[in-house]
Structure 1
Amino acid sequence: MNKVYLPEELAGVNPIAAMPFTVDGHVDLVSFTNMINHLVNTGCNGITLFGIASEFYKLTEKEKEQLASLFVQLLANSPVYSCISVTDHATEVAIERAKFYQQLGSNCLMLLPPFFLKPTTEQIVHHICAVLDAVTIPVLVQYAPGETGLDIPPQAMAEISCRYPHAVFKIECNPPVEYCRELLRYKPDSVILNGYAGLYMMDMLDVGGKG
């Protein structure tokens, strides 16, 4: 049985798994397995699959299911926590995806809020909360306005944290420090990680980030 992680245990270094492809455009499962095993041996704390660097938008449904199952299996007996990103724009699909990844045994999820056709802040918050309602494992709510073009105010994030203790935040605005300071003013015990290739990691640790 996979270890159950608390939100505050999601800390340190958590790289996004890159996606290796063969020359004809298929997922290279052998290289993927070797890469995950290599990352485990680097001493990282967690690994995330289907982040933006995983090129999730190029994968078929069959490939995603195969990769998710293999990913969880590869990390099941390691000290590294597994995190799988839910990237679907339809709330109903995102809910089913989140449930499926939890059932597979992923230790936590990452959630990329929908941005296609520019939903309102209220619609984005509804989507996030619906996924949080559907699962019990920690969920890293991703905030990447540079990639999505969407704004989610720190106060809205803090309200989500108050409603859902298993919500964690991955802040990737550029720069992220002031946003995180404001979020922590609203909710001082919020668990915050920084993405953006770790460019601001030391600054984020100084203001209360976890990794």
Structure 2
Amino acid sequence: MEKLKGAMTALITPFKDGKVDEEKYAKLIQRQIDHAIDVVVPVGTTGESATLTHDEHKKCIEIAVEVCKGTSTKVMAGAGSNSTHEAIDLAQFAQKAGADAILSVSPYYNKPTQEGLYQHYKALANAVDIPVLLYNVPGRTGVDIKPETVFRLFDEVENIYGIKEATGSIERCVELLAKRPELYVISGDDTINYPIIANGGMGVISVTANLLPDKMSMLVHAGLAGQFDTAKMINDELFDINKALFIESNPIPIKAAMYHAGLLDTLEYRLPLVPPSKENMAKIENALTKYKVVQ
């Protein structure tokens, strides 16, 4: 079982005339490959998975697998749902399509107990053979995967190998690695990518990497190689854009930034998401002036 790590990008999903722009999507993934991103992560939160149909969700996974075929870049497919049987269906499809691993967000809205989370993830992981990364983002889902539940899943379910931590808490990451050093903790918050890696984290799943994959890959690879001065320097350099990209709900700012930088032909979201306010768009544009966005 290859445990995916390194510089990973939470891919946006481009739309054109209300439909997934499959040609642009493939080009954006190729751009990630060209700039040394280790893993692309289609159809997560940043990919607007909540408003994609299941057919669109599956097509995005297929495109990512096809574009990455024959390259060193792997595919970690988003397969999360507040319905366990739907999450299993997506995970099994991803495995059959050729994805290398699964990223599964905790069930949202229905607020399961810790026992419910354990049973959900155990059923999901047992339904596939490829590695599964837990995804904890309580600010969006309304439920926190507590450390004790993480440890239980990691200890008892063979292919659950780590967690994308997006609580924003360094203390949480320290606790996880203090008690389970073999656990792969992956940063889910771009502003603290460096601190998490310096504490023993094994990589990042980044929103900012959609825009600046070259910088993010350099940061992560330096950090994992123990070159902490370099990693911190890049993390500090990216602070302003990291903050700007969360000025409104993700992925509103990142798509706006990519459109402004010429990486997207159209600025489209799926309702209920809408473009940023004029005030916030000006802040995003101002932050962009500090960076060189490679095409």
TM, length-normalised to structure 2: 0.66
| Counterparts of residues 146-185 of structure 1 (less than 5 Å) | 146-167=139-160, 168-175=162-169, 177-185=170-178
| Counterparts of residues 19-98 of structure 1 (less than 5 Å) | 19-22=13-16, 24-98=17-91
How many residues end up aligned between the 2 structures?
A: 202
CA contact (8 A) 1:84 1:101 kept: yes
SS at the partner of 1:14? Answer: strand
Q: Which has the larger radius of gyration?
A: 2
Identity of aligned residues (%): 26
C-alpha distance in structure 1 between counterparts of 2:102 and 2:53, whole Å? 19
C-alpha distance in structure 1 between counterparts of 2:120 and 2:34, whole Å? 36
CA contact (8 A) 1:162 1:187 kept: no
CA contact (8 A) 1:146 1:174 kept: no
1:134 to 113, 123, 127: 127
CA contact (8 A) 2:82 2:110 kept: no
Report the Cα offset of residue 18 of structure 1: 0.6
Once the two structures are superposed, what CA deviation does each residue of 1:21-61 show, in whole Å capped at 9, x if it has no partner?
11x21111111111011111010110000111101122122
RMSD of equivalent CA atoms: 1.3
C-alpha distance in structure 2 between counterparts of 1:181 and 1:14, whole Å? 21
Moved more, 99-108 or 59-68: 59-68
The amino acid across from 1:138 in the alignment is: P
2:197 to 187, 205, 208: 205
Counterpart in 1 of 2:209?
none
| Structure 2 unmatched runs, 5+ | 204-295
Q: 4+ residue runs of structure 1 moved beyond 6 angstroms? A: none
CA contact (8 A) 2:137 2:167 kept: yes
Counterpart in 2 of 1:119?
112
